[in-house]
Amino acid sequence: MSLAKIQGSVRSFWKDERGITGLETAIILIAFVVVAAVFAFAILNAGLGATSNAEDAISTAQTETQSTLAPRGDSILVARGAGPAFADVESVAFKLAPSPGAKAISLADAITLVQYSDESTAAETIQLGGAAGACIQTATSLWLTGSGDVVDKGEIVEITVTLAGGCLLVNEEWKIEVFPRDGAIVSVQGRTPVELSKNMNV
């Protein structure tokens, strides 16, 4: 074989890139498959996480719906002093009972909070039966029907919040919230009359 033929064969060998092109295509295809697999795993994982969060939210909502107290009747405001003129409210009392279909709800002192606020008082929170705050002097519970720390079906409990002098005045909006450990927050609110009497239903 002549030298020219040998050189021609070598040149043809180096110019033939069919194998290299096929290898590059395979590498690119494998890279696409890997990226697609990782992306699919990420989407699947995110979907499972969202499903789990949704299930938790639904479960929490069902628990709160089944563990709900509701006010019963009017709130009773008692003015401070003997009269005949009254300047402020000494105590607010209201009744709570389980909502229809609700489960038993604990209002034990150690796990229940009471929060008071009005137009001139920022939200103040104390433990039921606990130490006094700036406005809330005491917050107590009394079972009118039934007994114990748990409000069962058919039972009614009265919450009484005693206030310091000068906290709740005439023609003033007020709100008291009860925070059980389990279940929804119970809110009771109103406005004091423009002229106070000893005992007031609002």
Per-residue pLDDT of the chain (202 residues; tens, 9 = 90+): 565 555 555 455 445 555 556 667 778 888 878 888 887 777 877 766 555 555 555 444 444 444 589 999 999 999 999 878 899 999 999 999 998 877 889 999 999 999 999 999 999 999 999 989 899 999 999 999 999 899 998 999 999 999 999 999 999 999 999 999 988 899 999 999 999 999 999 8
Is residue 52 domain-shared with residue 101, that is, in the same domain?
no
Is residue 169 domain-shared with residue 75, that is, in the same domain?
yes
pLDDT (0 to 100) of residue 27: 80
Is residue 82 domain-shared with residue 169, that is, in the same domain?
yes
Instruction: Evaluate whether 75 touches 92 at the Cβ level (below 8 Å).
Output: yes
Is residue 35 domain-shared with residue 118, that is, in the same domain?
no
Is residue 60 domain-shared with residue 109, that is, in the same domain?
no
Is residue 99 domain-shared with residue 190, that is, in the same domain?
yes
Is residue 90 domain-shared with residue 172, that is, in the same domain?
yes
Q: How far apart are CA 14 and CA 141, in angstroms?
A: 95
Is residue 106 domain-shared with residue 77, that is, in the same domain?
yes
Distances 166 to 20, 45, 87 between C-alpha atoms, Å: 91, 58, 8
Q: Can you give the CATH number for the domain in which 132 is found?
A: 2.60.40
pLDDT (0 to 100) of residue 54: 53
Is residue 118 domain-shared with residue 194, that is, in the same domain?
yes
DSSP 111: G
Range of the domain at 37: 3-65
Alpha-carbon Rg for the chain in angstroms: 36
Q: Which of 49, 65, 81 is the last residue of a domain?
A: 65
Number of separate domains in the chain? 2
pLDDT (0 to 100) of residue 12: 56
Query: Is the entire prediction scored with pTM above 0.85?
Result: no
Is residue 48 domain-shared with residue 122, that is, in the same domain?
no
Is residue 88 domain-shared with residue 154, that is, in the same domain?
yes
Is residue 35 domain-shared with residue 79, that is, in the same domain?
no
Q: How many CB atoms lie within 10 A of CB 180?
A: 22
Q: Which of 26, 48, 65 is the last residue of a domain?
A: 65
Q: Which of 65, 93, 110 is the last residue of a domain?
A: 65
